[in-house]
């Protein structure tokens, strides 16, 4: 239960607001003003008590940027380091620059709706869901701490029409084939082929080491990913066991990997490259590369070559579409792309055709002609 009281400090009368801090579950106090005359302090107490009784906000003038920072600090203890850093990057790059200066008591549903609408041209619905998963709980936190009376985004949902869903998962085959052709001989060639020809996420591609490749049996094992923790890119075990999996590769992908391995061995022997982590893709010092570095490199490559916008996630969708067209069973597809359960795959790629086939033969049949 919140309360308001006066405490005399030297010659002044200080008004305090006492409340339960949700981040610690302990009682906390905040100064609400210092007054030379007790009657002025009493007036302030009356106003604050009126706000408490009527449900009006007690802390006026707090902007949205301050709220977001307080909320993330409050959630930090319950979030993994990578999730906390991801939320912080989204807030710093998108939310705060757009909504940060808006005062909480002036923030409306339309302000947030306009924000989401402006981001749709460059961000997927899935990414925008993450934005809302920061904004909505932050505003709930503001209600709990008496910063605002109600959450203006409480009932906000993203529209998820079939056209929006299809725009994210249906990829044009000719556009992707053209991208792969343009990327041949560049540093993007291998990651693009692994995304489109094996369905790997970018974090999985950048976490691959040479011991993950079985050249003889033409298969690839995924057992780690790259993450950014405290500003440093590191290798880490996947958060879900379903991500740890084996994928069969086409002869063409094996050939590209073989060429990369021969070149890596040559540079290592001549002292021009370090193999500190035995990574397939690494920076000049042999260290892991961040996802955003490669994503930015792809965006610049696409722009420089006047190609249609395609992301690594789009290439992964393309891989799944090819499997669907070849009537690979839904359970096999789910395992190949590292989903924790089949229902996730159905929800994202429904309808899928149910037909079991040998995945090694399918992989070769699909990719040998294209790659």
Q: What percent of the chain has pLDDT over 90?
A: 27
Model pLDDT, residue 131:
94
Mean pLDDT, residues 207-223: 94
CATH 1.10.443.10 describes domain 169-370: yes
Weakest-pLDDT range from 61-70, 78-87, 168-177, 237-246: 168-177
Question: Alpha carbon 272 to chain centroid distance?
Answer: 34
Around 339, how many Cα atoms within 13 Å sit in the side-chain half-sphere?
19
Let me know if 341 is exposed, middle or buried by CB neighbors in 10 A (0-12, 13-18, 19+).
exposed
Highest mean pLDDT among 46-50, 130-134, 231-235, 367-371: 130-134
Q: For 212-239, b where at least 16 C-beta lie within 10 A, e where not — what string? A: bbeeeebbbebbbbbbbeeeebbbbebe
pTM > 0.75: no
Q: Do domains 64-160 and 169-370 have the same CATH topology?
A: no
Mean pLDDT, residues 30-49: 80
Model pLDDT, residue 134:
95
pLDDT band at 283 (very low <50, low <70, confident <90, very high): confident
Q: Is it the case that residue 239 has pLDDT exceeding 80?
A: no
Q: What is the pLDDT of residues 148-169, one digit of tens each?
A: 878 889 888 876 544 444 445 5
Mean pLDDT, residues 5-10: 88
**Residues 6+ away with beta carbon under 8 Å from 294:** 188, 191, 202, 206, 281, 312
pLDDT band at 357 (very low <50, low <70, confident <90, very high): very low
Model pLDDT, residue 231:
67
pLDDT band at 105 (very low <50, low <70, confident <90, very high): confident
Pick from 164, 188, 160, 161: nearest CA to 176: 188
Residue 32 near residue 77, CB atoms below 8 Å: no
Highest mean pLDDT among 27-36, 218-227, 291-300: 218-227
Model pLDDT, residue 166:
45
Q: What topology does CATH give the domain 64-160?
A: DNA polymerase; domain 1 (1.10.150)
Mean pLDDT, residues 275-299: 86
Residue keyed to tokens 């709930």: 140
pLDDT band at 175 (very low <50, low <70, confident <90, very high): confident
More confident residue, 266 or 336: 336
Model pLDDT, residue 56:
59
Strand partners for 236: 225
Mean pLDDT, residues 103-126: 82
The dihedral through the CA atoms of 129, 132, 138, 143 has a sign that is negative
Q: For 10-33, b where at least 16 C-beta lie within 10 A, e where not — what string? A: eeebbbbbebeeebeeeeeeeebe
Residue-averaged pLDDT of the chain: 81
Pick from 218, 229, 222, 174: nearest CA to 202: 222
Mean pLDDT, residues 233-251: 88
**Residues 6+ away with beta carbon under 8 Å from 328:** 336, 355, 357, 359, 362
Q: Is it the case that residue 92 has pLDDT exceeding 50?
A: yes
pLDDT band at 55 (very low <50, low <70, confident <90, very high): low
Mean pLDDT, residues 219-246: 86
Distance (Å, whole) CA 346 – CA 341: 9
Structural domain spans, the chain: 3-54, 64-160, 169-370
Highest mean pLDDT among 156-165, 186-195, 297-306: 186-195
Model pLDDT, residue 69:
92
pLDDT band at 342 (very low <50, low <70, confident <90, very high): confident
Q: Is it the case that residue 323 has pLDDT exceeding 70?
A: yes
Q: Is it the case that residue 95 has pLDDT exceeding 90?
A: yes
Model pLDDT, residue 230:
62
Strand partners for 235: 226
Model pLDDT, residue 344:
79
């Amino acid at each position: 239960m919140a309360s308001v009281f006066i405490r005399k400090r030297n010659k002044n009368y200080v008004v305090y607001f006492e409340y339960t801090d949700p981040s610690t579950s302990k009682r906390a106090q905040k100064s609400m003003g210092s007054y030379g005359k007790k009657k002025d302090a009493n007036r302030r107490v009356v106003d604050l008590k009126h706000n408490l009784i009527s449900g009006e906000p007690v802390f006026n003038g707090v902007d949205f940027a301050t709220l977001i920072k307080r909320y993330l600090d409050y959630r930090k203890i319950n979030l993994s380091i990578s999730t906390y850093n991801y939320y912080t990057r989204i807030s710093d790059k998108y939310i705060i620059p757009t909504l940060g200066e808006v005062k909480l008591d002036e923030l409306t549903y339309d302000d947030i709706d306009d924000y989401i609408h402006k981001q749709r041209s460059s961000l997927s619905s899935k990414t925008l869901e993450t934005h809302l998963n920061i904004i909505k709980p932050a505003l709930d936190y503001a209600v709990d701490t008496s910063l605002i009376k109600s959450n203006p985004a409480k009932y906000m949902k993203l529209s998820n029409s079939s056209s929006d869903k299809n725009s994210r998962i249906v990829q044009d085959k000719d556009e992707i084939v053209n991208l792969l052709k343009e990327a041949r001989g560049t540093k993007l060639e291998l990651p693009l082929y692994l995304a489109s020809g094996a369905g790997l996420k970018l974090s999985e591609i950048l976490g691959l080491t040479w011991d993950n490749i079985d050249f003889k049996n033409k298969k690839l094992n995924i057992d780690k990913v790259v993450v950014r923790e405290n500003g440093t890119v590191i290798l880490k075990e996947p958060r879900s066991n379903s991500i740890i999996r084996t994928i069969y590769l086409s002869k063409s992908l094996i050939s590209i990997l073989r060429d990369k391995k021969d070149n890596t061995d040559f540079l290592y022997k001549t002292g021009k490259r370090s193999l500190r982590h035995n990574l397939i893709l690494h920076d000049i010092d042999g260290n892991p590369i961040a996802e955003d570095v490669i994503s930015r490199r792809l965006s610049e490559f696409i722009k420089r070559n006047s190609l249609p916008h395609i992301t690594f996630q789009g290439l992964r969708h393309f891989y799944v579409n090819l499997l669907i067209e070849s009537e690979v069973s839904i359970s096999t597809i789910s395992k190949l792309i590292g989903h924790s359960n089949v229902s996730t795959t159905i929800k994202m790629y429904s309808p899928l055709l149910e037909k079991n086939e040998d995945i090694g033969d399918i992989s070769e049949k699909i990719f040998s002609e294209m790659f």
